[in-house]
Amino acid sequence: MGLDMGLDKHSKVENERFNFSTTTSGSEQPSSPWQNFKNSFKPALEPNEHYLTTTTKKDERELTDIERININAANTNLQRKLKIRHLQMISIGSSIGTGLFVGTGQALANGGPAGIVIAWIITATAVFATMQGLGELAVTFPVSGGFNLYASKFLEPGIGFAVGWNYFLQFFVLLPLELVAGAITVKYWNNSINSDVFVIIFWIVIVILTNLPVSWYGEAEFVFSMIKILAVIGFIILGIVLICGGGPNHKFVGGKYWHNPGPFANGFKGVLSVIVTASFSYGGTEMIALTAAETNSPRKSLPKAIKQVFFRILIFYIGSIIMISCLVPYNDSRLFGKSSVDATASAFTIAIVNGGIKGLPSVINAVILISVLSVGNASVYATSRSLNSLAEQGMAPKWTGYIDRAGRPLAAIWISDIFGLFALIAAKNDAQEAAFNWLLALSGLSSIFTWMSINMSHIRFRRAMSVQGRDITELPFRSQVGVWGSWYGFILNFLFLVAQFYIALFPLGTKPNAYDFFLGYLGLPVVLVSWLGYKIWKNDWRLFIRAGDIDIDTGRVNIDPDILQQEIAEEKAALAEKSIFVRIYNFWC
């Protein structure tokens, strides 16, 4: 009921927000484009306050925290401006960035060719299962905050608080990191200009992009993702040619680097370290859930975007990893860059140089630069929507949830943009770089915690439906791997935490020490302290919400079950007449 009321209210006013201004006499007059632009920064209408007032009067009681969380998230002022093509590109390209183009180089050096292939495939299965459960939740509950809200709604608010703030920190620190990566990438062409110049240039570009309406974010990511996708596909095709000896030097490569220097760089320990790297590189796949509250027609657009994660993982990540493992030996000295954002350590660039091709390394570095802008743009989107959701849930200062008439969470966006200037400090000297690394360590395990919360939220949602006598046929989209897939994802993500603990305790290439341990595992105590702090603040010591008490109605899309089943039956009948190839494609995409 909550979402229906909020959406109806939005639909009545949304078409009038930018077409008229109210004079002092109360009459409505057409506005100029400049006046519309100025008015767009004014506060949005407040459906939440009106709804809470009427609900409280009706029930004659004060709402509980979880009731307020559910209602506020369902009646957000964010606007549904993202289209299907935007979501498809966001889902495909959201995590294709320096983690793939640069991070795989260090991973190859640590794990060897077999190590990175095994690690990325294992991690891919966990991400696929997690995204399926997330898809079911996001299509059923297209509300503000996504997985952040699901943790509060289906587990308990303390977990939502801890996961939400940790996710915010992950992408909050990512913007200055990407700006530093961009400045380092430019040094490939010109090493004489001060890096701060390029940091400022890239920062201004991202500030402009992030302060435009959300539809512009969708357009920017559409273009960025298209370029990255074409580059990865081109690299895979080129990699096959080079492996078969079709390069300028006509040397057949085959699988010789799997034999010499060998398939594994550091044995089982090396594979574990690469699994940790792989899980970090997939970070961002869950961001599609944050777009749910700003998606036009979530029932049709979100399932396609969610299901395409499988192909992204299979083709872009695994395909690229296989090419790299065959074209670059793990003992190549160029893989050991000075930092995790050093583009000169990109295995993509090294593979092309080894193939004897001139000019293309510059193209790859240009793609890396575009990826920097894309991930920086996406990071501000993630932090602003996460902070806005926390404010709506009463878990952050109310002013940080300010949304203007264009549907932009302006306060949260500006906080994220301003912190991006930390990039000017981060690369100055070793001491400041260490401070930057500690900031990264605060949220170093954020992706894994987020995925685990998604897995458990889906499990608890299905449990609540069962206990409350509801049938899964009510769901507009169902996970293709069901509850067992979420259990698989949860267990595998827990094992990733165990692997990270082992690597943090016994790091590669050095003896056990406190510095490396806390740098790699600081995220866990931060999450625990956040969860405990919320418990003390609210004096709420329940560990979970009982399945019978979970609210599985507020925030749900307004779809009549009978009409839904009729639509699904018609879609299946139409699909049955198609060829086997179309049916297979439709199942996965």
Residue 357 placed within a domain = yes
Region of poorest pLDDT, from 280-284, 289-293, 507-511, 524-528: 289-293
Q: Distance of alpha carbon 59 from its chain centroid, rounded?
A: 38
Distance from C-alpha of 243 to C-alpha of 113, rounded to nearest angstrom = 14
Query: Around Cβ 431, how many Cβ atoms within 10 Å?
Result: 8
Could you tell me if 324 and 352 are in contact, meaning their C-beta atoms sit under 8 angstroms apart? no
Residue 471 placed within a domain = yes
pTM as predicted: 0.84
If you average pLDDT over residues 214-222, what whole number do you get?
81
Domain that holds residue 545: 76-550
Q: What is the pLDDT of residues 110-150, one digit of tens each?
A: 899 999 999 999 998 998 899 899 989 988 888 776 788 89
Q: What is the pLDDT of residues 530-588, one digit of tens each?
A: 999 999 998 888 888 999 999 888 877 666 666 666 777 777 777 777 777 777 777 66
Percent of the chain with pLDDT over 90: 18
Joined tokens for residue 119: 């690690």
Distance from C-alpha of 433 to C-alpha of 532, rounded to nearest angstrom = 30
* Cβ contacts of 270 within 8 Å, gap of 6 or more: 110, 111, 112, 115, 264, 508
**Treating both helix axes as pointing N-terminal to C-terminal, what angle do 561-576 and 580-588 enclose, rounded to 10 degrees?**
140
Exposed, middle or buried by CB within 10 Å (0-12, 13-18, 19+), for 170? Answer: buried
Residue 69 placed within a domain = no
Residue 62 placed within a domain = no
Residue 52 placed within a domain = no
At residue 340, the pLDDT reads 55
Q: Quote the number of domains for the chain.
A: 1
At residue 237, the pLDDT reads 92
Q: What is the pLDDT of residues 311-361, one digit of tens each?
A: 777 788 888 999 999 999 998 888 865 555 556 668 888 888 888 888 777
Of the candidates 150, 178, 22, the residue with the CA atom closest to the CA atom of residue 74: 150
User: Amino acid identity, residue 267?
Assistant: G
Query: Around Cβ 19, how many Cβ atoms within 10 Å?
Result: 10
At residue 344, the pLDDT reads 62
Looking up residue 186, the CATH number of its domain turns out to be 1.20.1740.10
Confidence check: pLDDT of 52 > 90: no
* Cβ contacts of 534 within 8 Å, gap of 6 or more: 157, 158, 161, 162, 395, 540
At residue 426, the pLDDT reads 59
Q: What is the pLDDT of residues 275-306, one digit of tens each?
A: 878 887 787 788 777 776 667 767 777 777 77
Residue 67 placed within a domain = no
* Cβ contacts of 219 within 8 Å, gap of 6 or more: 86
Q: What is the pLDDT of residues 9-42, one digit of tens each?
A: 444 434 443 343 434 444 445 567 777 666 667 7
Query: Around Cβ 578, how many Cβ atoms within 10 Å?
Result: 12
Could you tell me if 392 and 401 are in contact, meaning their C-beta atoms sit under 8 angstroms apart? yes
Q: Locate tokens 């920086």: which residue?
A: 376
If you average pLDDT over residues 93-107, what whole number do you get?
76
Confidence check: pLDDT of 484 > 60: yes
Residue 1 placed within a domain = no
Residue 500 placed within a domain = yes
At residue 45, the pLDDT reads 63
Q: What is the pLDDT of residues 347-398, one digit of tens each?
A: 888 888 888 888 777 888 888 888 888 888 888 888 888 888 888 888 888 8
* Cβ contacts of 349 within 8 Å, gap of 6 or more: 343, 361, 364, 365
Q: What is the pLDDT of residues 157-199, one digit of tens each?
A: 999 999 999 888 888 888 888 888 788 778 778 777 777 888 8
Distance from C-alpha of 276 to C-alpha of 476, rounded to nearest angstrom = 34
Could you tell me if 464 and 552 are in contact, meaning their C-beta atoms sit under 8 angstroms apart? yes
At residue 4, the pLDDT reads 43
At residue 27, the pLDDT reads 46
Report how far apart, in Å, the C-alpha atoms of 357 and of each of 5, 248, 326, 350 are: 60, 7, 16, 10
Is the bond preceding residue 157 a cis peptide, omega within 30 degrees?
A: no
Q: Which residue has the higher pLDDT, 236 or 188?
A: 236
